[in-house]
């Protein structure tokens, strides 16, 4: 499950990061592509501090993964639907949700009894498989753009993958200090 979550989060973030300027130009006729695209790594930066700190404060991981996964899909889809200034919010939110989920996925192996002893190997396997998501989705989004002439199906695929973070989070065992 953790590899699948990492796969989804990494694929969504990295693919958006590479394709977002083209998506903005073609789908929204954006005039400020650079500024809007900057919102994605700003969401990454904010999530790096906020999500882990809040998760630690409340002592829970799973509710955060579920919430971020639930929001990630629509946020990703709306990056190619809306124009400025609202698209800036959705791009920021897409970066925040994908990397926020990724941050928690990497914390869980340390807290699981079955992976605690071999945590380095577990994290290595999770990230190795997870990074394949970037390879496949970057290629798929480009291919879908080439055969359809639009980024719609690529964005739709990414939004489904973003939403899969919620679905894969459902069976997760809570590992935070306030385990249920």
Residue 161's domain is classified under what CATH number?
Answer: 1.20.1250.20
Domain-located, residue 157: yes
Domain-located, residue 47: yes
Domain-located, residue 69: yes
Domain-located, residue 138: yes
User: What percentage of the chain carries pLDDT values higher than 70?
Assistant: 98
Domain-located, residue 45: yes
**pTM beyond cutoff 0.85:** yes
Domain-located, residue 176: no
Instruction: Report which of residues 47 and 120 the model is more confident about.
Output: 47
Based on its alpha-carbon atoms, the radius of gyration of the chain, rounded to whole angstroms, reads 16
Task: Quick: pLDDT tens for 71-82.
Answer: 999 999 999 888
Task: Tell whether the model's pLDDT for residue 180 goes beyond 60.
Answer: no
Domain-located, residue 115: yes
Average per-residue pLDDT for the chain: 90
Give the list of residues 6+ apart from residue 134 with CB closer than 8 angstroms, or none: 10, 11, 14, 15
Residue 67 belongs to domain spanning: 2-169
Q: Are 81 and 27 in contact (CB under 8 A)?
A: yes
Count of the separate structural domains present in the chain: 1
Helices (H), 79-175: 86-111, 113-116, 119-130, 132-148, 152-169
Domain-located, residue 12: yes
Whole-number pLDDT of residue 8 = 94
């Amino acid at each position: 499950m953790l590899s699948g979550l990492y796969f989804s989060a990494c694929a969504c973030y990295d693919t958006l990061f590479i394709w977002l300027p083209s998506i903005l130009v073609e789908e929204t006729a954006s005039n400020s592509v650079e500024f809007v695209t900057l919102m994605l790594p700003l969401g990454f930066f904010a999530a790096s501090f906020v999500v882990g700190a809040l998760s630690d404060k409340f002592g829970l991981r799973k509710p955060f993964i579920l919430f971020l996964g639930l929001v990630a899909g629509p946020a990703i889809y709306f990056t190619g639907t809306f124009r400025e200034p609202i698209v800036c919010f959705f791009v920021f939110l897409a970066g925040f949700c994908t990397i926020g989920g990724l941050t928690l996925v990497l914390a869980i192996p340390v807290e699981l009894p079955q992976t605690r002893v071999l945590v380095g190997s577990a994290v290595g396997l999770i990230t190795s498989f997870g990074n394949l998501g970037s390879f496949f989705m970057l290629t798929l989004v480009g291919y879908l753009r080439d055969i359809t002439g639009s980024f719609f199906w690529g964005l739709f695929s990414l939004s489904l993958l973003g939403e899969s973070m919620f679905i894969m989070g459902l069976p997760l065992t809570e590992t935070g200090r306030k385990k249920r």
